Amino acid sequence: MNTRPHAQNPDAAPLPVVLAGARGHGRWHLANIRRLADKGLVRLAGVCELTPLTEEELDGLGTPEQSADFGALLDSTGAAVAVVCTPIPTHTDLALTAAQRGVHLLLEKPPAPSYAEFRRMADGVAEAGVACQIGFQSLGSHAMPAIRELVAKGTIGEVVGIGGAGAWARDEAYYRRAPWAGKRRLNGVDVIDGALTNPLAHAVATGLALAGTTRAEDVTGIETELLRANDIESDDTSCVRITAADGGRVTVAATLCAERPGEPYVLVHGTSGRITFWYKQDRVLVQRAGHGPEEIEYGRTDLLENLVAHLVDGDELLVTPDETGAFMKVVEAIRQAPDPVALPSGAWHLAPEENRRVVDGVDALVASAADTLALYSELGAPWALPTASAKEVST
């Protein structure tokens, strides 16, 4: 991964880091900590897991303390930073456990399963005076400021809306990976593990960021259509349209039941062109009147490295909690919406060689939603009915 260099104090000791949740997606964080440790920026001081990591899993990371007690581990290691990559419903309590000890945070997305829990976390972190970075890695892409600059220069005319599309595939095992997988609630506690709120949450957050609609108060209306082909509680095929206080619109369509899975992207629609951003690849395509298409690849600033640079050099944090308030309003709208509607059996088929369900025609539908800023029901999908009408969003 390309990272933005910073003028870190060469005399500064590596910051001690504790990782909570080192398996599943946590393995990515473990590898990233190893990369930053090799650069002398951090050292892995502790791992919080129910089952301790093996020597093989910790290869190249020394012998960090291991414990299932997060607070005790922070105390005993003297951690400066905690990376929290645990089940969604645990995020707020673990973040506050760290904040109350003066430990700075990289908190995985989505930051919380409800707006109330998000506010409790964000307010507690602010009161404690610790730095908190939310793990929307795409917002560290150097493509983000580049696209904003292109828009500001009028490269594609006036922006008329932003679309997002994510057509991914997840097999049956994906929904068995953890007790909370594919759940809206578990043991009476909100989870909200749906396509738009977890695996394809970056499409929503990136679209909102490019629209300049990042704070909770920026959102005035949200429409959702939540559906599922899989035998789960949550949505696996869904779309959302967000209306901003400035009149802008962001529509994001997602599925985990794609016919042919592809790279998710965000589209900035202008009156005289458009910009496509494949946010996982940091790749941008500019198409505008009177010019040939131009494709550019950008670097990316890693969010943990940015947090370290913030603590050591005073660099500005890229993804603060307040900058994810609008995203959390979307999570809240999905939480409050009626439970996702099961697609009729004729709308999907089983791909036996991959052991997954495929929604027929969904790839084109997702792309069309991003192209037109329309919801599935407005595009004529026979199985798509609005599950929540347009409503005002209170802040």
- For 13-53, write each residue's pLDDT tens digit: 999 999 999 999 999 999 999 999 999 999 999 999 999 99
Regions of the chain where pLDDT drops below 70: 1-11, 385-395
What pLDDT shows up at residue 386?
Answer: 55
Q: What is the pTM of this model?
A: 0.94
User: CB of 257 within 8 A of CB of 244?
Assistant: no
Crossing angle (nearest 10°) for helices 26-38 and 303-313:
50
Q: List the domains of the chain with CATH numbers.
A: 15-138 (3.40.50.720), 142-299+322-392 (3.30.360.10)
| CA atoms of 65 and 60, how far apart (whole Å) | 15
CA-to-CA distance for 230 and 175, rounded, in angstroms?
9
What is the residue-wise DSSP string for 5-34? -----TTPPPEEEEEE--STTHHHHHHHHH
Per-residue model confidence (pLDDT) at position 392: 52
DSSP secondary structure code for residue 53 in this structure: P
Q: What pLDDT shows up at residue 2?
A: 35
Q: Which residues contact 176 (CB under 8 A, 6 or more apart)?
A: none
**What pLDDT is recorded for position 201?**
98
**In this predicted structure, what is the pLDDT of residue 388?**
43
Task: Give the pLDDT of residue 384.
Answer: 83
Q: Please tell me the distance from the alpha carbon of residue 240 to that of residue 296, in angstroms, as a whole number.
A: 28
Helix (H) or strand (E) segment spanning residue 207: helix 201-210
Please tell me the distance from the alpha carbon of residue 100 to that of residue 130, in angstroms, as a whole number: 9
The torsion region of residue 60 among left (phi > 0), alpha (psi -120 to 50) and beta comes to left
pLDDT recorded at residue 34: 97
| Cα–Cα distance, 7 to 312 (Å, whole number) | 9
Predicted confidence at residue 12, as pLDDT, reads: 78
Question: Which pair of structure tokens corresponds to residue 161?
Answer: 């809306």
